[in-house]
Structure 1
Amino acid sequence: MAEVFDLFGDPVPANWGERGRPEHIATQKNRNLVSMLVALGWSNGRIAAALFITVPTLRKHYFSELHFRAVARDRLMANLFMKTWEQVQQGNVGAIKQFGAMVDRNDLMEYGHMARPSAGKPAKQAKQPKLGKKEAAIAAAQNPDRGSALGDLIAQRQGSGRPN
């Protein structure tokens, strides 16, 4: 017997129209959707609601996708990097810019700030007089930490955008 599909392209269960609720059929499209939503950090209840099924049905039919919750985000990002890299190899300029931004974002995630070669040991500074809380806060606001990407950006916007 040929498989019958509903208006959404999902297969119609064999007991459709008979007594009782028809069993959920896990399609590859739904498996991919569950994997993506797990990678995005969605809860089981939220995923089940998006598929119009119950949480026990989700666990029954999509247990393998739910099992890899710890590595799902890394798998999603690896797939995204690979798809973007394929576009870069084809010469897509937008993909080249996007891939550069993805690498920068990955470096920020990995190292906490942009990797920058050190210029050797800093020279010793003269001892500063002790300041109170308010004076120290004002001084810190005027001198952003140039060791991070955000501090470097703030320094450039304040007009002291001299390179190190």
Structure 2
Amino acid sequence: MGNADFSNVDLFGDPVQPRREGRGRPEHVWSRENSNKVLLAFARGMTTKEAATAIGVSVPTLRKHYSSEVAQRDAAAIRFEMVQLNRLNTKAADGSVAAEKELGRRLEKARLDDLSKSMSAPTPRQERKGKKAEAQEAAEGIRGCYEPPAPPPGLLN
């Protein structure tokens, strides 16, 4: 184990800001590391509030400094998966058998997940009829001497 300098970071690896004179907290500064944390939080399916908590800021601060990441929230999981598949594909094209096997396994899993989603889609329920509607249909189906009379013929002129 190497000697790492942990004197300037807190328990979670975030930099510790030295106390300044004056009121309020110092202005948050955008960083690539926090940007990646926010994107990973969204890829995992976290809410905006959870992503803000993950980097230690409020939701308004997250929206102010990481607006482009918040805009990508809905697509983050799909984009992350595509980046992973692209990296596996590149390694497989370079001759890595392990990457080729992993790529095939992930593609097959995705195909099966899509298939199971389409199979488990709820079937529309048939609307149940009330007693009066059932009685009306039964009455309309009666034939014989109790059959309702045919409509009278129309005017000839």
Same-fold call, TM cutoff 0.5: yes
Contact 1:39 1:69 in 2 (8 A): yes
Q: Which amino acid aligns with 1:18?
A: E
What pairs with 1:14-163 in structure 2 (closer than 5 Å)? 17-19=20-22, 20-112=24-116
Q: Structure 1 pair 26/10, CA: closer, same or farther in 2 (3 Å)?
A: farther
Secondary structure of the 1:39 match is helix
- Structure 1: which 5+ residue stretches go unaligned? 1-5, 114-164
Contact 1:11 1:25 in 2 (8 A): no
CA distance in 1, matches of 2:73, 2:20: 36
Q: Which amino acid aligns with 1:28?
A: R
Deviation at 1:38, TM superposition (A): 0.7
Which residue does the alignment assign to 1:157? Answer: none
Point out 4+ residue stretches in structure 1 off by more than 6 angstroms. 9-13
Tell me which structure has the larger Cα radius of gyration: 2
Q: Deviations over 1:123-160 (max 9, x none)?
A: xxxxxxxxxxxxxxxxxxxxxxxxxxxxxxxxxxxxxx
Which residue does the alignment assign to 2:8? Answer: 7
Deviation at 1:98, TM superposition (A): 1.0
Matched residue pairs, number? 107
Superposition TM-score, scaled by structure 2 size: 0.58
Q: Structure 1 pair 10/27, CA: closer, same or farther in 2 (3 Å)?
A: farther
Secondary structure of the 2:8 match is coil
- Structure 2: which 5+ residue stretches go unaligned? 1-6, 118-157
Contact 1:26 1:62 in 2 (8 A): yes
CA RMSD of aligned residues (A): 2.6
